[in-house]
């Protein structure tokens, strides 16, 4: 799942810094929930127009949901997103 956060790159980095359950990783296929900032990881170095064709923007975060309790994941993401309001 991908989300775009208001506030651009600074807001995306703040969310990354505030999640507690999600791991900031670029691998997928793990049983643990992951969060990725694709513009600075998997798509780093690609021209902006190529990134945007792939749906990757500075404010995009991609989530891979694992086996943790869904209520805990929602609460974690909510508190991280609330930090940018």
Residue 45 has pLDDT above 70, yes or no: yes
- List domains and CATH numbers for the chain: 2-82 (3.90.1150.10)
pTM summary value: 0.86
Residue 80: count other Cβ atoms within 10 Å of its Cβ: 21
- pLDDT tens digits, 4-38: 999 999 999 999 999 999 998 777 667 899 999 99
Unique residue bearing structure tokens 């989530």: 63
Q: Outline where DSSP puts E strands in the chain.
A: 2-4, 23-24, 34-36, 60-64
């Amino acid at each position: 799942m991908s989300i775009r956060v208001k506030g651009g790159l600074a807001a995306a980095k703040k969310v990354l810094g505030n999640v507690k359950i999600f791991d900031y990783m670029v691998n997928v296929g793990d049983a643990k929930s992951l969060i990725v900032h694709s513009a600075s990881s998997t798509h780093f170095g690609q021209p902006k127009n190529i990134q945007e064709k792939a749906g990757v923007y500075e404010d995009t975060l991609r989530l891979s949901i694992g086996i943790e309790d869904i209520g805990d994941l929602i609460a974690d993401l909510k508190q991280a997103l609330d930090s940018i309001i």
